[in-house]
Structure 1
Amino acid sequence: MDLNLELLNAIDSFVWGPPLLVLLVGTGILLTLRLKFLQIFRLPKALGLIFKAQNKGNGDIDSFKALCTALSATVGTGNIVGVATAIAAGGPGAIFWMWMAAFFGMATKYAEGLLAVKYREVDSKGEIAGGPMFYIKNGMGPKFKWLGSLFAIFGILVAYFGIGTFAQVNSIVDITKMTIGLDPMWTALILTILVAAITLGGLQSIASAAAKIVPAMAVIYFISTIGVLVYFADKVPAAIQTIVYSAFSGSAAAGGFLGATVMLAMRNGIARGVFSNESGLGSAPIVAAAAKTKWPAEQGLISMTGTFIDTIIICTLTGLSIVVSGEWMNGLNGAALTNAAFKDAFPVFGGYMLMIGLILFAFTTILGWNYYGERCMIYLCGTKGVLPYRIIFIILVASGAFLKLEAIWVLADIVNGLMAIPNLIALLALSGVVVRETAKYFDHLKTGKAYEEYEDLDPSKVTTSKAQDSLAD
C-alpha cells in the first residue's frame, strides 16, 4: 500500500503542478478582468436571483433546484474533511488560498453556468443535455469534439473514484464509527440502499431531494460552526491574522504539526478549494444546463453563488473553527481534526453536531455526482449506458467504506485535476462569448429587450457556423 500511495502522490504532484495551478487561477483572473469584477459588483443581484429567477424558458427544473442540485454535489466532505486535510498539510495559510481560489473561481463558475445554457441541447428522450462536453462541441466546433469526450471520460472517473463515491462514503463511515461506534458494514448497507432508492429515479428525484436537504443542512452546519466561533470568540481575530500571515510565510512547527511551506499552503488551499466548490472543474454546468431560463447569463449568476456559499461562507466557518481551537497543531487529520475542534467547544454534543452535518453533506454530494457521471456516460454511449453506469456507481458506494483515507484523497485530487483541464481550455477559448452574453443580459435588464431580439436566437439551436464566428471574433 505504501508503494501504491507513493506512486499516487507522485502522479498527484505532477497533475497539480504549477502548470495546472496557473491555468486554474489564471482562467479565473482573466474572466474576472474581462467581466469587470462581476463577482463583486453583481453578487447582490446573483443572490437575489436564487429565489426570484423568472424560470421562463426551456429546461427540466427551476433555477433554485438546479442550484440546490449543484450545491448538493459541491457542499460535501470537502467543506469539512477537505478543509481539515488542507490545514493539516499546508497550515492555516491554506485557508487564505482557498479564499483566493474561490474569489476568482466565482467568475469561472459564472462562465460555466452561462455557457452551459447557451450551448445546451435536447437529447433523444426530450431531456436537456448540457455541460462542458456540449459547449466544447457546439462552441469550439466539431473538430474539438474529442476534447469534450475526454472531459466526459474524466467526469465518469471523478464520479466513480473521486468526489462522487469513495471520499464521501469513507467520511461518513469514519464519523459514524468515531461518534456512535456504528460498524462500517451497517453504514455501507444503509447508505447503499438510500443512494439506490433516490438515484434510480433520475434528475427529478435527485433535484427534489436536494431542494429539501441542502437548505436544511446548510442552516444546521452554519449554526453549529457559529456556536464554535462564539465559544472561542476571543481567539477569532488572532486566527484570522494567523491565516493571512501563514499564507505568505509558511507555518512554524508546533506540537505534532511538522510545519508547512508557502507552496504547500498554496497548493493544498487551491486543490482543496477546487475539490470543495468545483469552480473550473466543469461539473456544475452539467446541471445548470437543465435550468428553466432563456438567459444564459441569468443562470451564470445563480451558479456563481454556489462558490460563494460553498467556500467563502461554509469552508471559512470550518477553517476558523479548526484554527481557533488550536487542534491543527496536534497531529490530527480529516474528520478527526474537525471533530476535535467541535468537541473542544461542545464536549457532549459537538461530535453529534458534526456527524449530522457531515452525513448530510456527503450524502447529497453522492446524489449530485451520480447525475453528473450519468450525463457524461450518456454523452459517450447514449442512454443505453445509464443502467450499467448506475449499477457500477452503487457497487462503488458500497465498497467505498473499506478504503483508506489518504489514498482516497490523493486519487480524488488526480482525477479532479484531469477533469478540469479540458473545461478550462474551453472557458478560455469561449471567454469572448461569455462577455457578449453578459452584455446582452444587463442590456435586457435596462431596456426590457427580449432574448429573441438579439443576434443569437434560441441558445439550444446555435449553429456550428455561428459558434465558430463568435469564437473568431
Structure 2
Amino acid sequence: MQAIESILHTLSSWVWGPPVLILLVGTGIYFTVQLGFMQFMKLPLALKLMFRKDDEQGDVSRFAALCTALAATIGTGNIVGVATAVKLGGPGALFWMWMAGLFGMATKYAECMLAVKYRETDDRGEKVGGPMYYIAKGTGHMWLAKIFAVFALMVAFFGIGTFPQVNAIVDGANIAFSVPREATMVILTLLVGAVIIGGVKRIAKVASALVPTMAIGYVLACLTLVGLNASAVPAAFALIFESAFNPVAAGGGFAGATVMYAIQMGIARGVFSNEAGLGSAPMAAAAAKTKSPVEQGLVSMTGPLFDTLIICTLTGLALVMTGAWQSEFAGAAMTSSAFATGLSAFIGEKVVTVALLFFAFTTILGWCYYGERAVLFLAGERGRTPYRWVFVSLVAVGGLLQLDMIWLLADVVNGLMAVPNLIALLLLRKEIIGDTKAYLATLNWKGETATAG
C-alpha cells in the first residue's frame, strides 16, 4: 500500500504540475476575455433561462439537466475536499479555489454549449453528447475522443464517481449515527442500483428533488454558523487573502509551505468540486430540452457559482473562522469539528453528516450516468448492462479504501480527464466565440431573442 501511495503521490504531482494548472486556468481566462466576461455580464440572463420552458427535443428540462450536473459536482468536494485543501495548502488555498470557480464558469459555458451543438440521438431515442462527440465531430480527432472517454470511465470507476463518495458516506454514518460500515455499504448499494436502472430521466428526477433541498439546507446551516460568529469574519477573509500569496504568514500551522502548494491544492480541489474543464457536465447538458446551445451553456455556467463560489466558500469560512483548519482532524472530521465549535457539538456533527450523505449520494448517481455515456461511446449498447454491474460492485466495496489513497487516485484521474477536453475547447475556440457572439447579437434589451416571446 505504501508503494502504491508513493506512486500516486508522484503521479498527482506530475498531473497537477504547472502545465496542467496553466492549461486549466489559462483556458478559463482565455474564454472569459474572449466572451466579454460572460460570467459577470450575462449571469442575470443565465438565471432567467434556467427556469424557461422549451418545447424542443430533449430528455429533461434545462433545470433538471443543471441539477443532474450539480448532483455530480456538489459532493464530498464541498466538505471533505475543502477541508483537505485548507489542511494541506493553508487558508490561501480557498482563494485559489475561488479563482478556479470564477474562471471555470467560462470554461463550463464553452464545453456545455458545444455539447448541445454536437449532440446526437441514440438507438433508444435519448439525446447523447459531451466531449466525446464534439471532439470526434468538431475536431475530427476520434483517437482523442476515445482517450477522453477512457479517462471519463476511469473517473467514474475510481475517481469522483465511487470511492471518495462511498468512503465519506460510510465514515459519516458510522461516526455520527453509529451505523455499522457494512450495513451502510449494503443499503447504499441497493439505493444506487434502484435509481440507475431508470437511466437519465430517473437520475434527473431524483437530482431535481434532492439537489436544491440539500444545497439550501447546508447553506442555511453555514450562514447560521457565520452569523453566530460574525465578529470572526473579517479576520478570516484577511487570513485567506494573505495566505494566498504569503502562506508563512498563517503561522506554519499547515503542511503547505509555499505559494505554489496553496495554488496547487486550491485549483485541484476546486476542479474536483466544480468539475469545470473536466468535461463531465456537458454529458448532462446534452440531454436538456433546448433549441439553443448558447442558452444551455449559459444555464450550465452557473454550476461553479453555486458549487464553488457559494458552498465551498461557506465551508472554508467555517474552517478558518473556528480555527478547525489547525486542528489534528482531517477531511469530514475537520469540517464536523468546525461546525461543532461554531454551533454545538451535537448539531454540528449531524449537519455535516447529513449533508455528506445527500451530497455524496447524488454525486454517485451523476457520475454513474457520465460513466455510462463514456461506455456507450466506446462499446455501444452492449456495454450498458456490464457497466452498471461493475459500477454498483465498486460502490459496494468503496468504503474499504483509505482516505489518503482515495483522494490521490481521484486527483490523478481527474487531471487526466481534463487534458483532452481542454485541448478540444481550444481547438474549437472560433466556433465557441463565433456562435456566442451571433446569439448575443439577437438579444433585445430584455435579454430575449425575437422568438423567445
- TM-score > 0.5, shorter chain as reference: yes
Give 1:442 deviation, angstroms.
Answer: 1.7
- TM-score w.r.t. the length of structure 1 is 0.93
Aligned to 1:378: 376
- Matches of 1:233 and 1:417, distance apart in 2: 37
Aligned to 1:400: 398
Aligned to 1:121: 120
Aligned to 1:332: 329
3-state DSSP of counterpart to 1:445: coil
Give 1:254 deviation, angstroms.
Answer: 4.8
3-state DSSP of counterpart to 2:36: coil
Aligned partners of 1:255 and 1:330 also within 8 Å: no
Aligned to 1:66: 65
Instruction: Specify the code of the residue in structure 2 equivalent to 1:27.
Output: T
Give 1:440 deviation, angstroms.
Answer: 2.4
Once the two structures are superposed, residues 390-441 of structure 1 have per-residue CA deviations (whole angstroms, 9 ceiling, x without a partner) of 0000000010011100000000000000000010001101111111211222
Confirm whether residue 212 of structure 1 aligns to residue 209 of structure 2: yes
Pairing 1:255-334 to 2, within 5 Å after superposition: 257-334=254-331
Aligned to 2:429: 431
Once the two structures are superposed, residues 157-201 of structure 1 have per-residue CA deviations (whole angstroms, 9 ceiling, x without a partner) of 000000000000001111111112211101101100100000111
Q: Which runs of 5+ in 1 are unaligned?
A: 452-473
Give 1:445 deviation, angstroms.
Answer: 2.3
Pairing 1:27-426 to 2, within 5 Å after superposition: 27-51=27-51, 53-141=52-140, 144-252=141-249, 254=251, 257-345=254-342, 346-426=344-424
- Matches of 1:104 and 1:259, distance apart in 2: 24
- Matches of 1:260 and 1:312, distance apart in 2: 25
3-state DSSP of counterpart to 1:281: coil
Aligned partners of 2:90 and 2:255 also within 8 Å: no
Aligned partners of 1:252 and 1:260 also within 8 Å: no
After TM superposition, the structure 1 stretch with the greater mean CA deviation from structure 2, 344-353 or 217-226, is: 344-353
Give 1:327 deviation, angstroms.
Answer: 1.1
Give 1:443 deviation, angstroms.
Answer: 2.4
Confirm whether residue 440 of structure 1 aligns to residue 438 of structure 2: yes
- Matches of 1:197 and 1:337, distance apart in 2: 32
- Matches of 1:445 and 1:195, distance apart in 2: 42
- Matches of 1:167 and 1:55, distance apart in 2: 36
CA 1:205–1:282: 2 relative to 1, 3 Å: same
Instruction: Specify the code of the residue in structure 1 equivalent to 2:368.
Output: N
- Matches of 1:216 and 1:376, distance apart in 2: 29
Give 1:252 deviation, angstroms.
Answer: 4.8
3-state DSSP of counterpart to 2:421: helix
Aligned partners of 1:257 and 1:331 also within 8 Å: no
Give 1:259 deviation, angstroms.
Answer: 4.8
3-state DSSP of counterpart to 1:291: coil
Aligned partners of 2:23 and 2:422 also within 8 Å: yes
Q: Which runs of 5+ in 2 are unaligned?
A: none
CA 1:256–1:182: 2 relative to 1, 3 Å: farther
Give 1:112 deviation, angstroms.
Answer: 0.9
3-state DSSP of counterpart to 2:443: helix
Give 1:353 deviation, angstroms.
Answer: 1.0
- Matches of 1:253 and 1:47, distance apart in 2: 38
Cα RMSD after superposing both structures: 1.3
Aligned residues: 448
Aligned partners of 1:83 and 1:315 also within 8 Å: yes
- Matches of 1:253 and 1:136, distance apart in 2: 44
- TM-score w.r.t. the length of structure 2 is 0.97
CA 1:298–1:286: 2 relative to 1, 3 Å: same
3-state DSSP of counterpart to 1:348: helix
Give 1:49 deviation, angstroms.
Answer: 1.6
After TM superposition, the structure 1 stretch with the greater mean CA deviation from structure 2, 347-356 or 385-394, is: 347-356
Once the two structures are superposed, residues 266-310 of structure 1 have per-residue CA deviations (whole angstroms, 9 ceiling, x without a partner) of 000000000000000000000101111111110000000011000
- Matches of 2:60 and 2:435, distance apart in 1: 22
Runs (4+) of structure 1 moved beyond 6 Å?
A: none
